[in-house]
Amino acid sequence: MRRRNFIKNMGALGLVSTVSSLPAINKTSGYTLPKSSIKVEDGWDVIVVGGGPGGCTAAISAAREGAKTLLIEGMGQLGGMGTTGMIPAWCPFSDGEKIIYRGLAEKIFIESKKGVAHEKKDRLDWVSINPEYLMTVYDQMVTEAGVKVLFFSRLASVKMKANDTVDALVIANKSGLTAFKAKVYIDATGDGDLAAWAGATFKKGDENGVVQSSTLCFSFANVDTYNYVNGPTLHGGNANSPIHEAVKSGKYPLIDSHFCNNLIGPNVVQFNAGHIVNMDSTDPWAVSEAMIKGRNIAQQYLQAMKDLQPKTFGSAFIVKTGSLLGVRDSRRIEGDYIFTVDDWLQRRTFEDEIGRNSYYLDVHKAGHKSIHYKKGESHGIPYRCLTPKGLKNVLTAGRCISTDEEAFGSLRVMPPCLVTGEAAGMAAQHAIKQSDNDVHKIDVHYLRKRLKEENQYFL
Ligand SMILES: Cc1cc2nc3c(=O)[nH]c(=O)nc-3n(C[C@H](O)[C@H](O)[C@H](O)COP(=O)(O)OP(=O)(O)OC[C@H]3O[C@@H](n4cnc5c(N)ncnc54)[C@H](O)[C@@H]3O)c2cc1C
């Protein structure tokens, strides 16, 4: 029965020509699939695609609310940009006065700090990340919540049962293609693959489609920790950083003065440095070129530091570059509400807010000026930014939520992504219980009550 359903679905996708022509190897329209791939995995309540910060908290909270939850991730570890992408630090968890990303976000943050013993216990802002440690934090929290995880599996296609309702996700992995069915789906792919392929409207970049620059992060080992800690601040924000001399010299043509760096463990410094301009992360050819360029950029930064800071970096080498390209900007799925830069500037509060955010307008484009809040200021994040217009049983979490391009510069970072994930996971299970899987019709007062019970912070 399951096999027949799958074949019907694949037929609708144009992948299977006839049922009768399916012996050991399936004859498809010009393609062959191994027999083992012909199956439907049914019976899930919630499927989350993408195991970054947004996807992990979405899966944990859906499972905690009682949903039978599957988390599908294209790579072999959880954490997305913060682990596989090797981002070296958490953006601030405080509004300058108190921690404002609470609930699961705070729990993950506190656990992750155990992996960076050199950080001060009470530090809340720009805390460094040990990616291998953080992966295990996510592994543990996700599995303890009862989430089933499927690694090395990519969303390849979306099957609809009506214009507004997703029926199944077609996943590609070592079993070939498998259709996974749930009642509610959460898009935490960062790029909004699921919602876009289900037909949601989206924006990418500015009015000309230009996106913020990408960065391939990397780490150096065998750094002299004493000289690193006691030497000049290397960050490009320091006018006296040697990075400026390196850029000016013209000897390292691929580098620029974007040079964030953190000690992540003994003698290991991790970098978020350099820019790959206007790279479209939904174009695999562009991503492939950018990975090659990113590795060359990392080599040039190493050479520059060896030349200019030999006591610190003379014996250093690149121990790792990201296995995921650091993509800042991609599809923003249009929700019932689009959070705008005006909302950000007005520090707006919303009746349906599910969390708060205080991160600055951090847009990585030439000439863009950052704007910061004062201490203690923040804005609300409306639930309606997580509900894609025109899709009944889909939510978004993480950086693909509904914002304009400039406000996105603030909401795209990991602490708010953790917060939107927790709300999306909870809302998914509430939609199953309350509104026939319709994420637009849940009782938002109840969602906010449950989030408060889990210690989330909002007004
Ligand atoms: C260079 C750079 C520097 C940054 N610096 C900081 C910083 O210092 N501090 C900070 O807090 N934030 C920082 N950010 C922002 C932050 O890391 C990301 O925006 C955040 O991780 C987004 O979370 P997410 O869960 O939405 O998606 P991601 O972290 O992008 O995770 C998405 C996950 O989905 C998976 N996936 C994608 N497509 C598919 C598919 N089709 N099928 C299956 N799986 C899929 C990916 O493999 C990935 O694991 C930075 C971002 C970049 C790019």
- 217-229: per-residue pLDDT in tens? 999 999 999 999 9
Residue 220's pLDDT is 98
- Cβ–Cβ under 8 Å, residues 257 and 243: yes
CA dist 58 and 431 (Å) reads 14
Residue 35's pLDDT is 57
Strand partners for 94: 99
CA dist 440 and 124 (Å) reads 34
Residue 2's pLDDT is 40
- Cβ–Cβ under 8 Å, residues 60 and 147: yes
Residue 449's pLDDT is 98
Q: Which of 90, 106, 139, 189 to mutate to test the pocket of ligand 1 (most atoms within 8 A of CB)?
A: 189
Secondary structure tally for the chain: helices H, strands E? 13, 19
Q: Which of 81, 178, 422 to mutate to test the pocket of ligand 1 (most atoms within 8 A of CB)?
A: 81
Phi, psi of 311 (to 5 degrees): -65, -35
Q: Is the CB of 195 within 6 Å of ligand 1?
A: no
Residue 34's pLDDT is 59
Query: Nearest-CA neighbor of 128 among 264, 256, 2?
Result: 264
Structure tokens at 415: 């602490």
Closest approach atom of ligand 1 to CA 325: 53
CA dist 410 and 419 (Å) reads 14
Query: What b/e sequence results for 114-145 when a residue is b if at least 16 CB atoms lie within 10 Å of its CB, and e otherwise?
Result: ebbeebeeeebeebbbbbebbbbbbbebbeeb
- Quickly count: other Cβ atoms within 10 Å of residue 396's Cβ: 33
How would you write the pLDDT of the chain (459 residues) with one tens digit per residue?
A: 344 444 334 433 433 322 233 334 444 566 666 555 558 999 999 999 999 999 999 999 999 999 999 999 999 999 999 999 999 999 999 999 999 999 999 999 999 999 999 999 999 999 999 999 999 999 999 999 999 999 999 999 999 999 999 999 999 999 999 999 999 999 999 999 999 999 999 999 999 999 999 999 999 999 999 999 999 999 999 999 999 999 999 999 999 999 999 999 999 999 999 999 999 999 999 999 999 999 999 999 999 999 999 999 999 999 999 999 999 999 999 999 999 999 999 999 999 999 999 999 999 888 888 999 999 999 999 999 999 999 999 999 999 999 999 999 999 999 999 999 999 999 999 999 999 999 999 999 999 999 999 999 999
| C-alpha separations of 84 from 10, 132, 309 in Å | 32, 9, 28
- Cβ–Cβ under 8 Å, residues 83 and 134: yes
Query: Nearest-CA neighbor of 157 among 193, 121, 109?
Result: 193
- Cβ–Cβ under 8 Å, residues 123 and 263: no
Residue with tokens 């960065």: 215
Q: What's the 392 CA to ligand 1 centre distance in angstroms?
A: 25
Q: Is the CB of 184 within 6 Å of ligand 1?
A: no
Residue 24's pLDDT is 42
| DSSP code, position 52 | S
Q: Which of 57, 83, 87 to mutate to test the pocket of ligand 1 (most atoms within 8 A of CB)?
A: 87
Beta-sheet strands, E only, within 55-132: 69-72
Cα dihedral 384/145/179/177 (nearest 10): 120
Q: Is the CB of 52 within 6 Å of ligand 1?
A: yes
Structure tokens at 202: 């989206």
CA dist 405 and 118 (Å) reads 36
Q: Please name the residues in contact with 129: beta carbons below 8 A apart, sequence gap of 6 or more.
A: 82, 83, 87, 88, 89, 90, 112, 115, 116, 262, 264, 270
Q: What's the 323 CA to ligand 1 centre distance in angstroms?
A: 12
Q: What's the 447 CA to ligand 1 centre distance in angstroms?
A: 25
Residue 116's pLDDT is 98
Q: What's the 208 CA to ligand 1 centre distance in angstroms?
A: 23
Handedness of CA 347, 348, 354, 360 (dihedral sign): negative
Q: Which of 109, 414, 419, 422 to mutate to test the pocket of ligand 1 (most atoms within 8 A of CB)?
A: 414
Residue 365's pLDDT is 84
Q: What's the 329 CA to ligand 1 centre distance in angstroms?
A: 10
Residue 121's pLDDT is 92
Q: Ligand 1 atom 34: the closest Cα is on which residue?
A: 50
Q: Ligand 1 atom 8: the closest Cα is on which residue?
A: 89
Q: Is the CB of 189 within 6 Å of ligand 1?
A: yes
Q: Is the CB of 330 within 6 Å of ligand 1?
A: no
- Cβ–Cβ under 8 Å, residues 116 and 130: yes
Q: What's the 75 CA to ligand 1 centre distance in angstroms?
A: 12
Structure tokens at 339: 């959070």
Query: Nearest-CA neighbor of 191 among 91, 74, 333, 293?
Result: 333
Q: What's the 80 CA to ligand 1 centre distance in angstroms?
A: 5
Q: What's the 86 CA to ligand 1 centre distance in angstroms?
A: 10
Q: How far is CA 322 from the centre of its chain?
A: 14
Structure tokens at 374: 């004062």
Closest approach atom of ligand 1 to CA 260: 8
Q: What's the 275 CA to ligand 1 centre distance in angstroms?
A: 16
| DSSP code, position 149 | E
Closest approach atom of ligand 1 to CA 414: 11
Residue 39's pLDDT is 87
Q: What are the respective helix, strand and coil percentages of the chain, to the nearest 5? A: 35, 20, 45
